[in-house]
Structure 1
Amino acid sequence: MPVATAVPNALASPAAPAATSVSGGGRSTASEGRFRGDIQGLRAVAVLGVLGFHAGVPFMAGGFVGVDVFFVISGFLITGLIHREVLRTGRLSLGRFWARRVRRLLPATAVVLGAVAVMTIIVLPVTRWESVAWDVGASSLYVVNWRFADQSVNYLVADDAPSPVQHFWSLAVEEQFYVLWPVLVLVLVWLHRRYRLRLTVVLLAGIAAIGLPSLLWSVHLTDANPGQAYFVSTTRLWELAVGAALAIVVHRLERMPAALAHLLGALGLAAIVLAAARFDESTPFPGTAALLPTLGAAAVIAAGAARRRTLAGLVLDTAPMRDIGTLSYSLYLWHWPLLVAAAVMWGGDDGTLPLITSVMVVGFAAVPAWLTYRMVEAPIHHAGMFARFPRRAAALGVACTVVGVAAALVVAFCVPRPTYAGDVDARGAAVLDDDPASDPDGEPVDSVDVMVPDVLAAPDDVAQLDGQPCISDVKGTDLETCTYGPEDAEVTIAVVGDSKMHQWLNAIELIAEARDWRIVTYLKSACPMSTLEIGLDGQPNAWCSEYNDARIAELMGDESVDYVLTSQVSGYAFGDAPRDERRDMMAADLQRIWADLEDAGRDVIVMIDNPNPEGDVMECVAANEDSLTECVFSRETGDQAGGSPPQLAALAESDGVGSVDLRDYICPGDECPPVIGETLVYRRGSHLTASYVESLTPRLDDALTAAMD
């Protein structure tokens, strides 16, 4: 995946303990204390998969499965440490356990979060600072995965560039596991003593009680809400549980026959490689797909428990792989912020990096990773002053957390406050005459004295109807509507579509108020009116399909509706058919729906989608306020990128369907300017600012009334 085109599908977290020795279970065995070079090499496989995925290496489109490998490793090693301590001492010191985790993980984290804060202020557009500040703060407290899960279904941030700490989501999952799992073990040990149950049976039962429901929930949520399913902890616990269960029974695998150990290790490694090579962003994940890399990692670890060199071990337990595995945590922490920064500095119009550049950036990440490991991670992890005195480790943890929070506050403090224009008359589209293509006021300019909205306020310059958002979130199927205007109005207009229709609400409200029209909204983010399957994050959008069934039925049955005003950004049906074929499917579907509505007595008026920019215009403007011409984009490309082609094709075959086309007043020439009449045209992605839409009110009024005649 090109690095900065979307929120990444996976970022691995090699945050398991550095020691890779395993216990013999209920007795001292030959494996106890044995260094597991194959596990260190398995870390290398996982982190290389993630790095290759983020660098956009073609044959590693599923490299995000490295996160699942790391989860299994963490569950195995952490549970092994706990199990051994319980067997050796009959108890578990939570203070010592958490102190080990603190000195292993938090110092390097604090260094990287501090560096991200500096990088944000120096490199990233100012429009991203506030969001990054929140992300850094949530990362320092290890709850950022829940923040990203919430954002995954929020249409207002759907077009945001990926956070430089996006990869901390998996660290948060593991830290939450590290906090809760030892407490659960203490409860299980108490049950073992209280009821004289076998410790192994009790531990495995406890692991199953967590892992099985988590797996079932993962399968369900991946289908119901894929964005949240990827980030939340509850869908990932089963992967850690697989490693935990393996740690409890690993001593029984020492006498595994050589042939079985060779086969198990080879199959496990092949499963990981297969997932990394065959999966991609369209794979529903985690869900059942995560079973392949998760069980593959478990198989490799199980095979290595035998006291013999396996085929997998010949690949994994080598000096280069062990060295990469040793650096995996620091390498993981550094590579993503560097890629995000590189995308801002050297990315194309759409924010993506050329393959060779992204590979070089990932390779360079080894430099700060090695320095962090040698100067921070390893020295503090092995420092006797923290190992012997857990309270000092606790103080270290608090200090590292404070560093992260302080870094977030510094970024937040540096965010400039929006400067509002006050009484300045920002004219927007009002500067354009009836022939905008030849109007010099529509040509791109390098700078303006004042801009409305201020680029920092642009993300919140969102359409509303009577002060309400009036659009359903991506998640959910409830048919939520807003009504505006008198009940006895002579004209009732249903405003129908996705966020590209929603963006016109401010102008529609002004027109409706002036003409005493009644407005009813049927708007849902990421959901155009269609009977076809619509895609969302590479998967069918089941919410949209169910919502559309209800929406279309309501429109067909509501005889009070005189006109249906509709638009959309989606230009393609979801599926495996070629792109042109899916575009034609969408056009044919629109034609059928419009014809059915017309037959039911609803006059249909289509708002042609505005040109869609290749990159983020708002961020470009923030970085080029004195050279705005850097932010222009091709009108031809913009028209092809959105919903215009299927809309126009359907209109050509539809008799009686009206249309409103204001594209010439949004992009007057061959190149689309970011600012027209002192007004910023775009906010996030391809959405227009509410301010510019309001400036189009007279043009929309004329076009809309003409379409009604």
Structure 2
Amino acid sequence: MRFVAAFAVFLFHTGLSMNPMELTGPPISPFADDTVASWYESLFSNSGFVGVSVFFVLSGFVIAWSARPGMRATAFIRRRLVKIFPNHLVMWALVMLLFATPRADWTVWLPNLFLVHPLIPDLDISLGVNMPAWSLGSELLFYLCFPLLVGPISRIASNRLWLWAAAMVAGLAVYKILAVTVVPDGGGTGVAIEPDLRYWFGYIFPVGRMFEFGLGAILASIVRSGRWVRITPVPAAVLMVLGYVATLFTPAQFALNLVTVIPIGLLVASLADADVRGARTGLQGPVFVWFGKISFGFYLCQSVTIFYLRAATGGPQYSTPVAVLVLIGLFATSILGGWCLHRFVEMPMMRRWASARRPRTDVDPAREHSA
């Protein structure tokens, strides 16, 4: 499922009518036909936001599902840091080498290096250097907070779990209302959808994304406790599609993640419940498992494989059939980049540094690694 989310981000990135990294060249979209290019961009205009929200809900679910009594906070945080930082550092260095250095002084690249840049209310910083890495700042906050949350979540009475899940959604709704009523515009146009400061507060600021992570963690307890209402994946997927269509007609701030957070939560939990029951979902096969393994790298390398590559080649636009082939080429290049990061960076670092040398029994290694 992580790969489906990362592919949604890919569709969003390849449809943009501007290069978000401010690189020279024509639009990212390879379609010369303005009608087709506009249709493609409009159709996937919110898919990237939905994909990231899936990452956050799924992260909360899988990490909570894999937690075990006696889990040591230091061991957990160590594994999570080793999971995200090596890939991030490689892409940070590559982006700095290829195109970011002339545009980024130390006030931009230093916070990005340590993944604290989403905390800074300046889009030149919070979306600077390797743009997809902004979401890792939220993941870092999730990881640091989870050892403090796992105990309270595990002590929630099973008959109150749904109430707490609803509270996460309500909390996100209140946060969004604050974003549009209290936070000033701050000037600028954000990413062509919201003024800079409001977009940062409502979407980039990691604290605001804790509700999605918390929802995922509570849904894991619901499925584990047997309180799941047995919504199966097919109707959950239909609801997800309807939720996405609704985002195309919803005010920007609410379309970013509020409209789809319930469908996303239901889809994640329904797929997990299906796995527990041994039901087929179409995602358990070796192909999807492999795509899932490389999904982190596939997502993280898109600033280079899409934004930089389109600019470096002059960003030419093509007839619709040729443009489709270009999209397939960008997809294949991103897959290759994701595989390289997984095979030569992520896995060696996980094997070498993710676990202490002495034997440990606080988690199920296979399930924790899958997180």
Please give the alpha-carbon distance, in whole angstroms, between the structure 2 residues aligned to 1:168 and 1:332: 9
Are 1:213 and 2:178 an aligned pair? no
1:283: how far off?
4.6
2:247–2:259 Cα contact (<8 Å) kept:
no
- Which residue of the other structure, out of 233, 240, 251, is the alignment partner of 1:272? 240
1:55: how far off?
0.6
Are 1:381 and 2:360 an aligned pair? no
Structure 1's 248 and 361: CA in aligned 2 closer, same or farther, altered over 3 A? same
The Cα offsets for residues 87-136 of structure 1, whole Å up to 9 and x where unpaired, read as xx3xx411111011022111111111111121126xx7x3x243xx5443
Q: Which residue of 1 aligns with 2:212?
A: 239
Please give the alpha-carbon distance, in whole angstroms, between the structure 1 residues aligned to 2:311 and 2:328: 16
Structure 1's 274 and 364: CA in aligned 2 closer, same or farther, altered over 3 A? farther
Q: Which residue of 1 aligns with 2:99?
A: 120
Letter in 2 for 1:60: F
Q: Which residue of 1 aligns with 2:186?
A: none
Gaps of 5+ in 1: 1-41, 391-709
Q: Which residue of 1 aligns with 2:338?
A: 369
2:46–2:247 Cα contact (<8 Å) kept:
yes
1:210: how far off?
6.4
1:231: how far off?
1.0
Please give the alpha-carbon distance, in whole angstroms, between the structure 2 residues aligned to 1:206 and 1:182: 18
Q: Which residue of 1 aligns with 2:90?
A: 111
Q: Which residue of 2 aligns with 1:454?
A: none
Letter in 2 for 1:109: H
Structure 1's 163 and 198: CA in aligned 2 closer, same or farther, altered over 3 A? closer
1:364: how far off?
0.6
- Which residue of the other structure, out of 122, 125, 129, is the alignment partner of 1:151? 122
- After TM superposition, the structure 1 = structure 2 runs for residues 61-72 of structure 1, keeping only pairs within 5 Å, are 61-64=45-48, 65-72=50-57
3-state SS in 2 of match to 1:382? helix
2:231–2:270 Cα contact (<8 Å) kept:
yes
2:61–2:220 Cα contact (<8 Å) kept:
yes
1:255: how far off?
8.3
Q: Which residue of 2 aligns with 1:449?
A: none
The Cα offsets for residues 367-397 of structure 1, whole Å up to 9 and x where unpaired, read as 12111111111222234x641249xxxxxxx
Q: Which residue of 2 aligns with 1:556?
A: none
2:53–2:212 Cα contact (<8 Å) kept:
yes
Q: Which residue of 1 aligns with 2:115?
A: 142
1:293: how far off?
2.9
Q: Which residue of 2 aligns with 1:49?
A: 8
Query: How many residues in Structure 1 have an aligned counterpart in Structure 2?
Result: 309
Letter in 2 for 1:388: A
Q: Which residue of 2 aligns with 1:227?
A: 199
Structure 1's 322 and 244: CA in aligned 2 closer, same or farther, altered over 3 A? same
Question: What is the Cα-based RMSD across aligned positions, in Å?
Answer: 3.5
> Once the two structures are aligned, what percentage of the paired residues are identical?
21
Are 1:360 and 2:333 an aligned pair? no
- Which residue of the other structure, out of 246, 251, 254, is the alignment partner of 1:284? 251
- After TM superposition, the structure 1 = structure 2 runs for residues 508-519 of structure 1, keeping only pairs within 5 Å, are none
Q: Which residue of 2 aligns with 1:322?
A: 289
1:271–1:293 Cα contact (<8 Å) kept:
no
Q: Which residue of 1 aligns with 2:261?
A: 294
3-state SS in 1 of match to 2:260? helix
The structure with the greater share of residues assigned to helix is 2
1:214: how far off?
3.9
Please give the alpha-carbon distance, in whole angstroms, between the structure 2 residues aligned to 1:342 and 1:164: 15
TM-score normalized with structure 2 length: 0.71
Please give the alpha-carbon distance, in whole angstroms, between the structure 2 residues aligned to 1:119 and 1:181: 35
The Cα offsets for residues 574-620 of structure 1, whole Å up to 9 and x where unpaired, read as xxxxxxxxxxxxxxxxxxxxxxxxxxxxxxxxxxxxxxxxxxxxxxx
Q: Which has the larger radius of gyration?
A: 1
Please give the alpha-carbon distance, in whole angstroms, between the structure 2 residues aligned to 1:198 and 1:71: 21
- Which residue of the other structure, out of 301, 305, 319, is the alignment partner of 1:334? 301
TM-score normalized with structure 1 length: 0.39
2:199–2:253 Cα contact (<8 Å) kept:
no
1:359: how far off?
5.1
1:358: how far off?
5.4
Please give the alpha-carbon distance, in whole angstroms, between the structure 2 residues aligned to 1:209 and 1:96: 30
Letter in 1 for 2:254: G
Letter in 2 for 1:50: V
3-state SS in 1 of match to 2:175? helix
Q: Which has the higher contact order (CA 8 A, sep 6+)?
A: 2
Gaps of 5+ in 2: 16-39, 184-197, 359-371
The Cα offsets for residues 118-168 of structure 1, whole Å up to 9 and x where unpaired, read as 1126xx7x3x243xx544322222222133xx225xxxx6xx9x7442211
1:330: how far off?
0.6
